[in-house]
Amino acid sequence: MTIDTGMAINLMKHIIPSALVLLLALGANVTAASETDIKAVTLDGRPVLLKEDQTWEFMEIEQGDPSVSAVLTVTRIWDMEKACKLQFRLQNNLNYRISTLVPRLTIMNKAGVVYDSKSIAFASIKPTNDKYTDVQFERIGCHEISHVKVHGAAHCRMGDIDQWNEEEGECLSHIYVEPSELINISK
């Protein structure tokens, strides 16, 4: 039996993608089987560790000492029917000037769905001083937000840290997020 070149190429076009899909599926199962614990977040923003033995536990987030951090505080909220405006204060308790610091805020709605993300910027804050800024999320009231997560803050400039020498997460590690009775917020 002879197969012409066109038939062979057509056959390979069908076999190779199927083989790749099968290999990727097998590889994913092997990877999933070798993973042990999974980090997750509850609807109200608390981090949990899902263990391989099918148990779980809440994880503590280490924020450091607020007396030697840049302390981020929610100072006021405006709950409009279909908008939420948050006011933040950044208190510089570091022993050096914060030239720029831009943390990212992600909000989750009551269903646990990430609704929106925005950045807030702080600049030129001398030690012991503070600055205020606010951010508004559209089409969602504050009463509809289950959690605000503070993350990112890459490429800050403060002290010896700048975009050329910072380690991943280093800027964020200098922020202490003050727990709030106004809205659920954490790192």
The pLDDT of residue 64 is 78
CB 101 within 8 A of CB 70: yes
**CA distance readout (Å), 16 to 2, 30, 84:** 21, 21, 52
Judge whether residue 87 has pLDDT over 90.
yes
What's the pLDDT tens digit per position in 91-106? Answer: 999 999 999 999 999 9
C-alpha dihedral sign at 114, 145, 78, 104: negative
The pLDDT of residue 169 is 83
What's the pLDDT tens digit per position in 36-84? Answer: 788 776 766 667 778 888 888 877 666 778 999 999 999 999 999 899 9
Judge whether residue 27 has pLDDT over 60.
no
Sheet holding 185-186, edge to edge: 114-119, 103-109, 145-152, 185-186
What's the pLDDT tens digit per position in 114-149? Answer: 999 999 999 999 999 999 999 999 999 999 999 999
Which amino acid is located at 108 in the chain? M
Report angle CA 81, 102, 65 to the nearest 5 degrees.
Answer: 100
Judge whether residue 165 has pLDDT over 80.
no
CB 126 within 8 A of CB 97: yes
Q: Which residues on adjacent β-strands are paired with residue 103?
A: 152
pTM of the model: 0.71
186 pLDDT band (50/70/90 cuts)? very high
How many DSSP H helices and E strands does the chain contain? 2, 14
Candidates 3.90.550, 2.60.40, 2.40.160, 1.10.3470; CATH matching 66-186: 2.60.40
Q: Residue 121 is encoded by which pair of tokens? A: 């910027």
DSSP, collapsed to helix, strand or coil, labels residue 167 as: coil
Domain residue spans in the chain?
1-34, 66-186
CA distance 147 to 100: 25
The pLDDT of residue 57 is 80
CB 42 within 8 A of CB 50: no
